[in-house]
Structures are given as C-alpha cells and as structure tokens.
Amino acid sequence: MNLSIRTTERPLKGAFVAIKHDMKLITTNDAAERLGVTVQRIHALIKDGRLPAERLGRDYVINEEDLALVAERKPGRPPLTDEEKAERAEKKAAAAGAQTLPFEPRATKPRAKKAGVKKSRKKISPKK
C-alpha cells in the first residue's frame, strides 16, 4: 500500500516532521513484508535510529527509499573477533579457577531402602 501525502499550510495532526510532497510512504507492515522480518523488528530498527520513519498519528510511515539503509544488514549477531574470543576465554578460565563454595556442603547420609515393603496401589473397581 503506497501512501502519498501532500503538505498543507497547517501541519498534520500527530506528525512530528513535515512530510514532503509526493513522498512514497509505506507502513511498518509493508516494510516488514519487503524486508522479510517482523513488524516488531521494524519498530526496533526505528527505535534504534537505523531506519528513519515519521510518526503519523499512532503509526509510523517509512519512506520507501529508506528501506535500502537496512536492506543489506546481516541477520543475527556479528561474529566475535579473535581478540574478543581470547578475552572471553580468559574470563571463563579465571571464573572457573576462582569458583569455590563459601561454605562446606552438608554431609548427607545415604538412605537405606526398607526391605520387604512395597508401595501398594489401590485399584479402583468400577461401581456396580
């Protein structure tokens, strides 16, 4: 769904930024569909400032050309560098070496099984 909003002399109610004449605007649902992500992800990109959008009432509208800013993103987290991997390995080794209990664990006695005692299950007979 393409929206084309013309500017007026008075500002649009609920719009924070003036919308340019004949701007091709799309909704967050359309943007999510085109990028192959969820609407929540589009909102997160807008909140992070990586996807410019304009508020129109309670919804966001996005310039169609601005989708190119996030279209080339790689999915998932970026891989760790060798330095980050080494740093994490050092932290893990230090934590494993310094990990001691602040108290001695309580000695537990092994439980002896009672000889000859079986738990019986009550059989429910159908009512006559």
- CA 44: distance to chain centroid? 9
pTM of the model: 0.46
Is the pLDDT at 102 greater than 50, yes or no?
yes
pLDDT in tens, 68-96: 888 887 767 778 899 999 999 888 888 77
pLDDT of residue 10: 47
Burial 67-85 (b: 16+ CB within 10 A, else e): beebeeeeeeeeeeeeeee
CA separation for the pair 68, 32 (Å, rounded): 13
**Contact indicator for 1, 27 with CB cutoff of 8 Å:** yes
pLDDT in tens, 32-69: 999 888 999 999 999 988 899 988 888 999 999 898 88
Class of domain 1-75: mainly alpha
